[in-house]
Amino acid sequence: MFSQKRVFTLLFILAISINSISNAQNTVKPVIHGRHWIAITGKPLAATAGAMIFQRGGNAVDAACAMLGATCTMWDVLSWGGETQALIYNPNTGKVIGINALGAAPTGATPEFFKSKDMKVPPAYGPLAAVTPGTPGGLLVMLAEYGTMSIKDVLEPSMQMAEGYPIEQSTINRIEGGKERIKKWPYSKKVFLPHLGEDHEAPYEGEILKQHDLFMTLQKLVRTEAEALEMGKSRKEAIYAAYERFYKGDIAEEYVRGSREQGGLHTMNDLANWQVYIEEPVMTTYKDIEVYKLTTWVQGPVMLQALNILENFDLKSMGYNSARYIHTLYQSMNLAFADRDFYYGDPYFPPEEPIKGLLSKEYAKARSRMINFEKNDPNAKPGDPYPFMNMENPYKNILEKWSSAKEDKQLEGEDLSTFDESFTAGTTSIQAADANGWVVSITPSGGWVPACIAGNTGIGMSQRMQSFVINPEDNPYNVVEPGKRPRATLTPGMALKDGKPYLSFAVQGGDTQDQNLIQFFLNMVEFDMNVQQAAEAANINSYQLRNSFGDHESIPGRLTLNESVPPWVRTMLSKMGYRLNYRRLTSGPINAIFFDRKHGTMWGGSSNYGEDYGIGW
């Protein structure tokens, strides 16, 4: 018979063993381990497209372009007429490169035009919501400059899918839910509603969705490349010949015709004059880690601003998702997002954004001192970064009158549901890395269902125009103007440590994107989670920032918590003035790659939030 002491000893060992097993398997999805490459994106079929390219010898840029094409063809909350934003690590130079393939406002898109139609902002749907298509140009420029393969090879999965692929339920739900809008657009109706007149007019799950017009458009790009190669052109020159056909040739002509037929403003000059910019991204350091984001034409710098503020606090000692940690995080994000809402815009158009001041460590320290640790501040406002650049703020008079909430009203019921849907308006994300050191992080978007298809191109038009404002009092840097890019939410991320890739990460979800990425990053750096744990972990979301979609509303003090947050934390936050709501999943669909320098391998993470999927080898 066992002694009591021995029983207790065995129970203790058993408890330790169970705890170890639990810690080893405490995520819904496993870590993706890869030695040669990793490919992750929003749908399993699209991740497979990236894997196919890797298996054929392509590099991470080739694979990322294949995944981009596949997700667009699948309408994975975007399409070919949308926009592409990317960060690329080039191992040959040791530098991070930014790709700006966001479309621009067309001719006639002025504040006066939208005001004449009694609009507070440009519309959320239809041809008047569309900037020029950016994704085709972004894909072709990335492939030409940093890839190794041909358009034919990289677009082969997309073309197979355009000929017909078995559609999944999530896209069907968006089609069926948006079918009344789709019926207004003849070219969309013929693609999306094969059962017109029946109770269920969208395709059924597993039904083959065929997109003949899109297939013909992609085939034109491949044929143009082939003709250029036959003429003795180089690989790069042949790709740019296809680029020219899309933006200046017959594809552009049909796109413009289809847009204008349905009420759009696009002209041939709008497409011909638009261009992809290869940029230097912005960067800050957090505990000696270099964190890179695209600049003020997207919301990316807001993560850097928030990290600069948070660096002034001992977050680890607060404890993961304690009331004090959540409060500090929420207040820091609100200060950074208030700056986003006032100061961010297209850096290629005046006025010049004060990005140097916004990213100043001294400015962040001054902002951190504004945090009240006893209660939420529903009136958090933009700061003034100009003194940190030894300059005078040219919009001080507007700044003094600015309020985080445009109107003092409470949203509830259907209005609140519409707000939530628009606040997290979708995109997808793409992560790719290879053994030679190429790393790619992309957040493409635009042209999501319900999308207006431009004529017989098969290309869904972007809805990004709604992110502009039409009154300088809302944001003097982001007022709509022909040729100008709207300040978008799309925000890939990348981090280097000791000059080498440490993390590549991105997420979909509109105005929640950088909120989730800040927490993902801190989960790894401060709370020692691995990449999969950090991707699935319980996040919070603030709605105090202005919505980048719809009517640009905000709800100060509203805070989404994960259902797992304990009662005592909820009680403390309520006493601080927060209006709490709860969800089972709060991470957002984060996709990321961690670079394990010790073992020379890659760890992929893909959260359990949606249908995102990764493959490694």
Q: What is the three-state SS of 497-549? A: ECCEEEEEEEECCHHHHHHHHHHHHHHHHCCCCCHHHHHHCCCCEECCCCCCC
Task: Give the pLDDT confidence score for residue 410 in this predicted structure.
Answer: 64
CA neighbor of 545 nearest in space, from 367, 445, 406, 411: 406
| Cα angle: 94, vertex 528, 611; to 5 degrees | 80
Residues making up the chain, counted from first to last: 617
The tokens for 250 are 């017959």
The angle, 0 to 180 degrees and rounded to 10, between the axes of the packed helices 513-525 and 301-310 is: 40
**Contact between 125 and 179 (Cβ < 8 Å):** no
Beta strands 558-562 and 579-583: pairing type? parallel
| 579-583: strand order across its sheet | 541-542, 558-562, 579-583
User: 75 in the Ramachandran plot: left (φ > 0), alpha (ψ -120 to 50) or beta?
Assistant: left
Structure tokens at 373: 């640790």
Joined tokens for residue 404: 């985080």
Q: Hey, where are the domains in the chain?
A: 57-278+436-467
Q: Are strands 541-542 and 439-442 parallel, antiparallel or unpaired?
A: unpaired
At 465, give phi and psi (nearest 5°): -60, -30
Can you give the pTM of this predicted structure? Answer: 0.94
| Residue 136 φ then ψ, to 5° | -55, -45
Amino acid at 319: G
| Alpha-carbon span 138 to 443, nearest angstrom | 12
Please give the structure tokens belonging to residue 522: 């801190």
pLDDT of residue 25: 46
Strand partners for 291: 284, 495
Q: What is the pLDDT of residue 3?
A: 45
- 485 backbone dihedrals φ, ψ, rounded to 5°: -90, 135
pLDDT confidence of residue 22: 36
Classify residue 479 by its DSSP letter: B
* Torsion, CA 590, CA 163, CA 261, CA 71, rounded to 10: 10
- pLDDT, residue 412, reads 66
Q: Which residues of the chain have pLDDT under 50?
A: 1-25, 408
Radius of gyration from C-alpha coordinates of the chain? 24
- Where b means 16+ CB within 10 Å and e means fewer, 332-349 reads bbbbbbbbbbbbbbbbeb
Cα–Cα distance for residue pair 340/381, rounded to 1 Å: 10
Question: Residue for token digits 């890839």?
Answer: 147
pLDDT value of residue 9? 38
